[in-house]
């Protein structure tokens, strides 16, 4: 049954071909940018929906950050802003575009880089028990802000919305293709979220973000990155996204104290959003 469904999607959904080609292209050497510093988010599985355009601002600042490491500018008191624009081309395929900005005393407002992110999700009509999607991201970032200038990530996304709580798991694989870590293997960087539904419009939860080093390298825990966030999500309108979080780094390579805000609005059809599930 699953094989038949995948074959049908391959034949009838032309953007599935585009998505596969993009993944293959992401393996062409052209390495790892800490994009999690600019977009601190555990993804839900749902794609944006056909005809929608989502505009989001990801804002965060490190009150206890890092100094200069490997020639990269410090994160201490840095204000990071990301503009994300995502458009849904079909009911289960979207394409996202990012611009990263860093604002810091002594450097001013600086453009950091740009990424592109295609994503495909399991069609809603398949009625799978979990929400599942897959995204890949490729992009450039300036050497002043990352030891690696060209990087990619592959992000499987699994989530489930229960009556009283919501869970999401993103086992991310990241790779550097140009820069300090270009000869390293893929980095394993899992993230996850558990949120309790306090009311139909308010969720309170915890988010975890990690980076465990190149696969097979046995990176010591003290050299890994681990952070935990307390997060508030408000569902005030079907087209509005609001996420506010406070995070604490658990290891030395991780910024010690960060506050983040995600604010977004979806333009297009007024169909109701269903958390954790692809939209039709």
Asked whether the predicted pLDDT for residue 102 surpasses 90, the reply is yes
Asked whether the predicted pLDDT for residue 12 surpasses 50, the reply is no
Instruction: Give the pLDDT score at 69.
Output: 87
Q: What is the mean pLDDT of the chain?
A: 86
The H or E element containing residue 17 is helix 14-25
Q: What is the mean pLDDT of residues 65-93?
A: 94
Q: Which residues pair with 139 in a beta bridge?
A: 115, 151
Q: Which residues contact 127 (CB under 8 A, 6 or more apart)?
A: none
Contact of 70 with 196, CB cutoff 8 Å: no
Instruction: Give the pLDDT score at 256.
Output: 92
Instruction: Give the pLDDT score at 220.
Output: 94
Tell me if residue 242 falls in helix, strand or coil.
Answer: strand
Exposure letters 196-231 (e unless 16+ CB within 10 A, then b):
ebeeeeebebebbbbbbbbeeeebeeeebbbbbbeb
Instruction: Give the pLDDT score at 269.
Output: 65
Has domain 2-267 been given CATH number 2.40.160.40?
A: yes
Whole-angstrom distance, CA of residue 196 vs CA of residue 165 = 4
Instruction: Give the pLDDT score at 266.
Output: 96
Q: Which residues contact 27 (CB under 8 A, 6 or more apart)?
A: 152, 175
Match 């794609």 to its residue by tokens: 47
Q: What digits encode the pLDDT tens for the residues 190-243?
A: 999 999 999 999 999 999 999 999 999 889 999 999 999 999 999 999 999 999
Q: What digits encode the pLDDT tens for the residues 112-168?
A: 999 999 999 999 899 999 999 999 999 999 999 999 999 999 999 999 999 999 999
Tell me if residue 135 falls in helix, strand or coil.
Answer: strand
**Model-level pTM?**
0.83
Instruction: Give the pLDDT score at 36.
Output: 57
Asked whether the predicted pLDDT for residue 2 surpasses 70, the reply is no
Among residues 126, 161, 163, 120, which one has the least CA distance to residue 274? 161
Q: What is the mean pLDDT of residues 90-101?
A: 97
Contact of 133 with 120, CB cutoff 8 Å: yes
Instruction: Give the pLDDT score at 137.
Output: 97
């Amino acid at each position: 049954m699953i094989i038949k469904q995948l074959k049908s999607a391959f034949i009838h959904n032309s953007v599935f071909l585009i998505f596969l080609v993009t993944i293959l292209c992401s393996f062409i050497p052209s390495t790892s940018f800490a994009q999690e510093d600019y977009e601190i988010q555990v993804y839900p599985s749902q794609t944006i929906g056909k005809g929608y355009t989502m505009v989001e601002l990801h804002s965060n600042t490190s009150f206890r950050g890092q100094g200069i490491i490997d020639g990269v500018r410090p994160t201490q008191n840095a204000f990071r802003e990301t503009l994300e624009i995502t458009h849904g081309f079909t009911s289960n395929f979207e394409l996202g575009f990012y611009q990263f900005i860093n604002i810091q005393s002594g450097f001013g407002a600086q453009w950091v880089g740009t990424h592109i992110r295609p994503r495909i999700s399991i069609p809603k009509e398949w009625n799978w028990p979990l929400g599942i999607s897959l995204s890949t991201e490729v992009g450039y970032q300036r050497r002043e802000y990352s030891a690696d200038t060209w990087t990619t990530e592959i992000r499987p996304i699994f989530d489930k919305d229960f009556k009283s709580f919501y869970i999401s798991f993103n086992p991310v694989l990241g790779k550097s293709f140009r820069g300090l870590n270009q000869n390293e293997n893929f980095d394993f960087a899992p993230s996850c979220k558990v949120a309790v539904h306090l009311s139909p419009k308010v969720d309170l939860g915890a988010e975890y973000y990690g980076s465990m080093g190149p696969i097979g390298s046995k990176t010591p825990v003290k050299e890994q990155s681990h952070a935990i966030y307390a997060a508030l999500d408000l569902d005030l309108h079907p087209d509005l996204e609001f996420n506010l979080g406070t995070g604490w780094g658990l290891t030395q390579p991780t910024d010690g104290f960060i506050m983040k805000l995600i604010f977004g609005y979806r333009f297009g059809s007024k169909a109701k959003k269903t958390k954790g599930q692809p939209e039709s």
